[in-house]
């Protein structure tokens, strides 16, 4: 099979297409013939070496989620999965390939009315956005700011907040064009990356969902209402300053809360149930899968170049050409 491997830590050019023997599913696994492969920010962090301290190594196949048809099952897995079109979570590695191994416990059947491209685009992004809002104790009528709203998680957080009855859904983004597209998805106010630029926007928010982090994170504590909650679900701009908590202490009387969120803290059955619900909602036209571009597996370098250039709105999907 063809697969894309991280040959060495570095830029997009370190990705290379290689020929490998088709893998065999171990106990509890299935082998999926992939039809659509999600490209995410974590893949870029792994490739760059930013996650080396957490065990990332060169010589691995990136890619966390795939959609395709179950071709084979390992011991202990119901053979009824064979032939079904499913979404599956690879763990951390293994998705950028014509065939991928997935733990059977993560599988979610894809509705016939939902394309493979749409399913993988929604996939983990929609699920993470859902649980991030829950982690923030978001309630109908509250105001929400999504920081870094143009990426996969961001566009889903905007839609889910609007669908959940938010009183206002503000976004930070890099251009007026992106702002217009986010309005179409449910945003009510468009701000620049510093959180400024809309005179009619709320001065502060009940909930901030932050996919960016980085050096500017502390300034957004000033944008929280009393009892406001900030939840960080990504760090695409890097780590915040070591003393970022000082900004919270200086606003002690406002009883602000800060949290991180990882889907690793959600049980697999809960993740599956919510993903299935979100797929059903998309099938009914209640959620939009925002696809920036479909590229071939051989264009993985280009996909990462586009991510690094900040060109991507929504998600890029890799499509293998399996014979």
pLDDT in tens, 85-142: 999 999 889 999 999 999 999 999 999 999 999 999 999 999 999 999 999 999 999 9
Provide the pLDDT confidence category of residue 198 given band limits of 50, 70 and 90: confident
Provide the pLDDT confidence category of residue 51 given band limits of 50, 70 and 90: confident
Task: Please state the rounded mean pLDDT for residues 181-203.
Answer: 93
Residue 143, C-beta contacts closer than 8 angstroms, at least 6 positions apart: 166, 167, 168, 169, 170, 202, 204, 205, 206, 207, 225
Rounded to 5 degrees, φ, ψ at 179 are: -60, -40
Burial degree of 84 (CB within 10 A; 0-12, 13-18, 19+): middle
Mean pLDDT, all residues of the chain:
95
Task: Please state the rounded mean pLDDT for residues 68-92.
Answer: 97
Q: Does residue 42 surpass a pLDDT of 80?
A: yes
Q: What is the pLDDT of residue 53?
A: 82
Task: Please state the rounded mean pLDDT for residues 276-305.
Answer: 97
**Eight-class DSSP state of 314:** B
Task: Please state the rounded mean pLDDT for residues 278-284.
Answer: 98
Provide the pLDDT confidence category of residue 55 given band limits of 50, 70 and 90: confident
Provide the pLDDT confidence category of residue 177 given band limits of 50, 70 and 90: very high
Q: Does residue 174 surpass a pLDDT of 70?
A: yes
Q: Which has the minimum average pLDDT: 121-130, 242-251, 257-266?
A: 242-251
Q: What is the pLDDT of residue 41?
A: 87
Q: Does residue 200 surpass a pLDDT of 60?
A: yes
Residue located via tokens 């007026």? 176
Q: What pTM does this model have?
A: 0.94
**Does residue 37 contact residue 96 with C-beta atoms inside 8 Å?**
yes
Nearest-5° Cα angle at 309, 308 to 315:
70
């Amino acid at each position: 099979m063809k697969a894309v491997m991280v040959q060495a830590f570095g830029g997009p050019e370190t990705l290379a297409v290689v020929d490998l023997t088709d893998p065999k599913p171990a106990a509890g696994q299935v082998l999926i013939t992939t039809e659509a492969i999600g490209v995410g920010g974590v893949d870029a962090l792994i490739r760059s070496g930013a996650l080396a301290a957490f065990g990332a190594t060169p010589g691995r196949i990136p890619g966390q989620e795939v959609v395709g048809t179950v071709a084979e099952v390992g011991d202990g897995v119901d053979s009824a999965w064979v032939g079904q079109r499913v979404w599956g979570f690879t763990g951390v590695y293994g998705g950028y390939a014509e065939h991928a191994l997935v733990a059977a416990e993560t599988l979610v059947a894809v509705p016939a009315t939902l394309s493979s491209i749409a399913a993988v685009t929604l996939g983990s992004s929609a699920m993470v956005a859902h649980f991030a809002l829950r982690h923030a104790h978001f309630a109908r009528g509250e105001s929400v700011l999504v920081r870094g709203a143009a990426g996969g998680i961001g566009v889903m957080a905007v839609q889910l907040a609007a669908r959940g009855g938010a009183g206002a859904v503000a976004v930070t983004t890099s251009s007026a064009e992106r702002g217009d597209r986010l309005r179409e998805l449910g945003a009510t106010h468009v701000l620049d990356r510093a959180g400024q630029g809309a005179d009619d926007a709320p001065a502060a928010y009940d909930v901030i969902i932050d996919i960016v982090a980085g050096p500017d994170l502390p300034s957004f504590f000033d944008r929280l209402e009393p009892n406001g909650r900030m939840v960080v679900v990504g760090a695409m701009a890097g780590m915040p300053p070591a003393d970022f908590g000082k900004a919270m202490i200086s606003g002690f009387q406002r009883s602000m809360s800060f949290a991180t969120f990882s889907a690793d803290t959600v049980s697999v059955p809960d993740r599956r149930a919510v993903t299935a619900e979100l797929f059903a909602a998309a099938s009914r036209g209640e959620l939009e899968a925002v696809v920036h571009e479909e590229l071939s597996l051989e264009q993985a370098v280009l996909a990462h170049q586009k991510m690094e250039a900040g060109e991507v709105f929504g998600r890029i999907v890799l499509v293998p050409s399996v014979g």
